[in-house]
Amino acid sequence: MKQSPDVDRPSSRRGLVLALVVSLVIGNLVPFGGLLLYPFTLMATWVHEMGHGLTALLMGGSFEKLEIFWNASGLAHAFAAESRHGFVSVGGLLAPPLVGAAVLALSRGPRRARIVLAVLAAAMVVSLVVWVRTVVGWISLPVVAALLGAFVRWASPRELLFLAQFIGLRLAFDTVTRIDYVFTDRVVVDGAERLSDIATVANDWGGPRFLWSLVIAAISFLLVAAGLYSAWHEPRPAQLKPKRR
């Protein structure tokens, strides 16, 4: 009895389910699970701070350096015109769910997953050379980049799909799982108290801070939903057209 050719074909849907289960089990049931996920937490911090910095560059400003600390907080030394501070803050807040949703949507096949992981690894290496200026960043980012590079070079199609979907989930849910940060007025970064991103948005754009918190939270949830929807609805394999005689 012949099996359908789709039986052994790697599925982004199965990879998504496996990545979700593994993330939940490690994060909630495995002793010291948070320590195992720590490199990916720092990766989310890196994405957040890169969001600030790249947005500042897009706004015509500057991005001088990026700092990541042991408690998974970070600081982007990014500057733009005073009227654009709100955009720079939003760029950081929405970067993890936006990048996570993009990874989920684009990694719907082993070949695409390989490309996505290679791009992420290359972006980390570039940021290490150009912007990262803390020991934590110098240690954690090369480890994650090396992991991604190893998967790109040697992983099986199913393993590629799993890691891409796992990273996509971790990034997409970062703002959602740390949603209290979106509703916080002040934060402590490297021992110093600072105005939070959402407070900067409210100061720059006007209106109640709580309202902007709700807006950012809603956009984050929509991005997560869009990423999950895209990953779940796999593209159909191309049908072979009959040859003309």
* Nearby residues of 236 by Cβ (< 8 Å), 6 or more positions away: none
To which H or E segment does residue 186 belong? strand 186-189
List, for residues 26-42, the tens digit of each pLDDT value.
888 888 888 889 999 99
Note whether 96 and 114 are within 8 A (CB): no
pLDDT reported for residue 5: 45
Using pLDDT thresholds of 50, 70 and 90, give the confidence band for residue 160: very high
Of 144, 1, 123, the residue nearest 50 (C-alpha)? 123
Residue 136 has pLDDT above 90, yes or no: yes
Helix (H) or strand (E) holding 164: helix 157-172
Residues 113-138, mean pLDDT to the nearest whole number: 96
- State the pLDDT at residue 234: 64
Average pLDDT (118-137) is 96
The two structure tokens encoding residue 243: 């040859």
pLDDT of residue 225: 93
Q: Torsion angle, CA of 12/219/63/135, rounded to 10 degrees?
A: -60
* pLDDT tens digits for range 64-100: 999 999 989 999 999 988 888 999 999 999 999 999 9
For residue 34, give both structure tokens: 């948070």
Give the 3-state secondary structure of residue 64: strand
Cβ–Cβ under 8 Å, residues 88 and 78: yes
Length in residues, the chain = 245
Give the DSSP letter of residue 83.
G
> What's the pLDDT tens digit per position in 170-190?
999 888 788 888 999 988 887
| pLDDT for position 109 | 87
239 has a pLDDT exceeding 50? no
Residue 188 · residue 41 · CB < 8 Å? no
In 3-state terms the chain splits into helix, strand, coil percentages (rounded to 5) of 70, 10, 25
Model confidence band, residue 233 (pLDDT cutoffs 50, 70, 90): confident
